[in-house]
Structure 1
Amino acid sequence: MRVTRLTSVTALVIAIAASTAPYAAAATVSDQDTGFVRSAHQGNLAEMAAGQDAQKHATSACVKEVGRVLVRDHGKLDADVKALAAKLHIALPAAPTAEQKAELASVRAKAGTSAYDTAWLKSQDAAHTKTLARIDSELKTGHNAEVKAAARAARPVVVMHLDMVRGGVCHAAKDAGAVRAGSGGLLAAEGSDTLAAAGVASLAGGGLLAVLGAAWLIRGRRRTNQDR
């Protein structure tokens, strides 16, 4: 009889753990998180378009090189963003914002002249400054561990890009070469460590609830037996 009761309790513990773990592991995705993922994707699209445009229309080798770096790095970052958005069921915009398109069009109007290079550098200075502010806002007020990990992985890349165009002056030599961002949707190592820690914490929370529930049931059964 006692074995049967223990078996029942064990089964209940497993059931509770199984039903609780998914909810514990699924961290909250706030409006802040969702907005960041969408804006990050649009920012990546805008930076890749700007980089491609610079490679075609810039007059200096330095600006052309910075454009190449933007295409390379934001392509890798966007692979992470798209994979994360798919996982969290966040619908992504299909194109940059109207403002981002208008900004590139304004710069492109100066194509083939030195004025293009100057306008492009200033535009990228402003764009990466805004992106860095959005990243810092997500790290400070975001809720989802995976989204914050992606922001954390992107931050040094954006800082490097900003150093390459800061003040409207071209510094292609600032390219660090190695980008700590995923390829094909893999987060940076630092981000993966953060996610793993979050997963362990979530599972621990689910297991704790299961254990508490089992303990409560066992105590109740013991009291019932004593009453008999």
Structure 2
Amino acid sequence: MAAVLAAWTAGPAATAVAAPKPAAADLRAAAVRPAALQPQAPQPDPFNGAIPGDVGNGNGLLPPANNPPGAGAIVETALPGANTTQTRFGTIDDVDRLFLVKVRQAGLWERPTGLIAQQFAASERVKEIGRIMAEDHKQLDEECRFVAGQLNVALPDQPSAEQQAWMREFWPMRGHDFDVTAVKWLRFAHGGVFSAIASVRANTRNEMMRLYAERANLMVNKHMSLLESTGLVQYDNLPHAAIGAPAVALAAATAPTPKDANMFRLPVVALVVVAGLLGLVSIRRVVRGL
């Protein structure tokens, strides 16, 4: 047994020693292998280490947010009805606050994207859409900061990590590649915030938030239509609509029910019986008359 184990452990070493060295032709072939198989050098950061869309220093494309005193940060785990606060426009909760944060972050990456599209896009249509979106987000951001100030909501000065990743992806691109990639992420992002707007518009208890959601809804819907007019939207890559069984189950669980579901049952049955008896009497009279 010891001899077998020794032979088994020594086998690979002996094979390695006996293996022939690669021929010079093999070395030359490896040297000229396709570039796609060669180790790729890391791509330079198009923002030189800075945070894309950062306006915290006041020198960004959008003004920095002047957060009200005592306004707290909003986390991604915001829940409907959580941390409610009464304002003169009605109650707000974490979902209202998170909506304002999302609108602010949308402007922090979509406005710079609209500006750079006017320089590096190949399509004149994409350039024009970039100009429109940049102007619209400047207005929407002004309104967002005003509403946040009135409702004591803190706003960020940086896009989300996901939005920063999108910008880093297409920022070095030029021409058609820029058009396709920028439109892909812009349409994807607008679809997500469009759903959030609808939820806030339908469920908020705050009048100012309701009016601002209507304003944002018009602008986001307009931008989606503009992006779709380029013919570059990849619909197969968009998420499916989140409606159906979960929404129906939620509605059924929260729908109000009558105080007494049986209060109308006996009267209805009595009416049916009376109608049936009257029908029989009428039929007998008709038969006798014949």
How high is the TM-score relative to the length of structure 2? 0.48
Which portions of structure 1, spanning 4 or more consecutive aligned residues, are displaced by more than 6 angstroms? none
Q: Distance in 1 between matches of 2:229 and 2:215?
A: 24
Quickly say closer, same or farther: Cα 1:141–1:74, change in 2 above 3 A. Answer: same
Aligned length, in residue pairs: 148
Name the CA distance, whole Å, in 1 between partners of 2:209 and 2:88.
14
- The answer to which structure has the higher helix fraction is 1
Q: List alignment gaps of at least 5 residues for structure 1.
A: 1-22, 172-228
Offset, 1:73: 0.5
Give the Cα–Cα distance (whole angstroms) in 2 for the partners of residues 28 and 71 of structure 1.
Answer: 32
Q: Would the alpha carbon gap of residues 96 and 24 (structure 1) be closer, same or farther in structure 2, given more than 3 Å must change?
A: closer
Indicate which of 128, 141, 144 corresponds to 1:78.
Answer: 141
Is 2:161 aligned against 1:98?
yes
Distance 1:57 1:51 in 2: 10
2:90 counterpart (14, 27, 36): 27
How far off its partner does 1:140 sit?
A: 2.0
Whole-Å Cα distance in 2 between the matches of residues 26 and 69 of structure 1? 31
Paired residue for 1:60? 123
Q: Which has the higher contact order (CA 8 A, sep 6+)?
A: 1
- The 1-side partners of 2:109 and 2:117 are apart by 12
* Equivalent runs, 1:68-217 vs 2, <5 Å: 68-109=131-172, 111-166=173-228, 169=231
**Unaligned 5+ residue runs, structure 2?**
1-85, 234-290
Counterparts of 1:92 and 1:75, CA distance in 2? 15
Q: CA RMSD in A?
A: 2.0
Amino acid at match of 1:145: E
Aligned CA distance change for structure 1 residues 94 and 24 (closer, same or farther; 3 Å): closer
**CA radius of gyration, larger in:** 2
Q: Cα deviations across residues 167-208 of structure 1 (Å, max 9, x unaligned)?
A: 86269xxxxxxxxxxxxxxxxxxxxxxxxxxxxxxxxxxxxx
Equivalent-residue separation in structure 1 for 2:223 and 2:87 (angstroms): 37
- The sequence identity of aligned pairs, in percent, is 28
- Cα displacement string for residues 42-70 of structure 1 (whole angstroms, at most 9, x for unaligned residues): 11222112111211221121111110001
